[in-house]
A = this chain, B = another copy of it.
Amino acid sequence: MSDNHEPEKISIPNGRQGLIAKIAEKAVKTNSETILGIGDDAAVINSGNLRTLVSTDMFVEGIHFNLVYTPLKHLGWKVISAAISDIIAMNAQPKQVMVSIAVSNILMQSQILEIYEGIHLACNHYHVDLAGGDITSAMRGLTICVTAIGTAKEDDIVYRNGARPTDLICVTGNLGGAYMGLQLLERERSVFESTGVQPKLDNNDYILRRQLRPEAQIELLDYFKKKEIKPTSMIDLSTGLADELMNLCRASDMGCEIFEERIPIADETKKMAEEFGITPVVAALNGGEDYEMLFTIELKEYEKIKDNDFFTLIGSINTADKGSYIVMNDGNMMPLSDSFNSSN
């Protein structure tokens, strides 16, 4: 099962991880073609000389998006970006998507087609094919389920569990922007609903785009190929850095050390975080939906990557007994957990 979006909003009774573990336990593997089932960003299937990777994500109105401020075209773009991000996180090339939509009669056909306009745009941009799906009625609300399919050579696939001591921890782009965009949209929505004052969204294009129209890190695949680098582990940041880094460390049975000063945060994100009284690094550690890539590479690759302007080296992997922590700018070492609390 792939990890989900915005963990703070997910409240599956008694804990989602425990539930998934119980389900995975009973999922007997009967086909030798199923190389990997539940447990990473995507399932891995043996299809002869290649591997087929499949991942499914569900996006629910009121949980993952709010139609009050989400343009339908952006929504279509976003669900495709989020879905193929899971395939990229396995170092595989996304090739097809299947999109299923359950929609109530409140949406008109023209609005459904607007969602698909965003889907087509994203498909063209990422060179993936919309290969099928399902459209059905719903009593209420809009639910979108996207299955992303990709291919990779067996030796190229990167799992979550390959991180080893001294490996360098890297993250693409910058973090916390999508989260601050969401905070801004939520604030303006609630102001509008209680006072009728029109939303003030000017000059916040960057963080709004991070939230409403995120980009999947597909160029990273070519970068790795060109540089002849194979990450030792990789995961996409659908939830926050803290949560996903812990997922990666747990899967690899490792600990880690990262540095506050190294965590990439855009100026626009910092500015908005300060406006909200949120410590920027907390937004970066806990905020989801950036769809950046978190990966580890061997120390010996350092020379190859040191001058790149694509991703940032934020720390390194330790043995599990050393624990997982972030070194703050003041020198304090704070333990990391799935959700980082700066007052830990």
Contact = CB atoms under 8 A, between A and B. Distances in A.
A204 interface: no
Interface of A: 1-2, 4-5, 9-14, 16, 19-20, 22-23, 26-31, 33-34, 36-38, 42-43, 45, 47-50, 52, 54-58, 60-64, 95-96, 98-103, 105, 107-109, 112-113, 116-117, 120, 123-124, 127-141, 143, 145, 147, 149, 151
Contacts of A42: 132
Given A28-B124, A102-B60, A132 B1 contact: yes
A4 to B, nearest CB: 6
12 contacts: A31-B95, A34-B129, A37-B96, A37-B132, A38-B133, A55-B98, A55-B132, A56-B133, A56-B134, A57-B100, A60-B102, A63-B136
Contacts of A10: 136-137
Given A30-B124, A43-B98, A19 B129 contact: no
A163 B112 CA distance: 33
A2 B132 contact: yes
B133 A26 contact: no
A127 B11 CA distance: 32
Copies of this chain assembled into the complex? 2
Contacts of A5: 136
A102 B43 contact: no
Contact of A19 (B19, B52, B54, B113): B113
Contacts of A116: 22-23, 26
A138 B131 contact: no
Given A9-B137, A34-B95, A29 B129 contact: yes
B56 A12 contact: no
A131 B58 contact: no
B2 A102 contact: no
Contacts of A36: 131
User: Among A11, A60, A145, which residue has the most Cβ atoms of chain B within 10 A?
Assistant: A145
User: Most chain-B Cβ atoms within 10 A of its Cβ — which of A1, A23, A42, A143?
Assistant: A23
A119 to B, nearest CB: 8
A134 B1 contact: yes
A63 B50 CA distance: 39
Given A28-B124, A147-B147, 5 more contacts: A45-B95, A45-B96, A48-B50, A60-B138, A134-B145
Given A54-B96, A139-B62, A19 B131 contact: no
A14 B45 CA distance: 39
Q: Which of A20, A62, A95 has the most CB of B within 10 A?
A: A95
Nearest to A141: B139
A47 B93 CA distance: 13
A38 B9 CA distance: 34
A42 B105 CA distance: 26
A22 B134 contact: no
A139 B19 contact: no
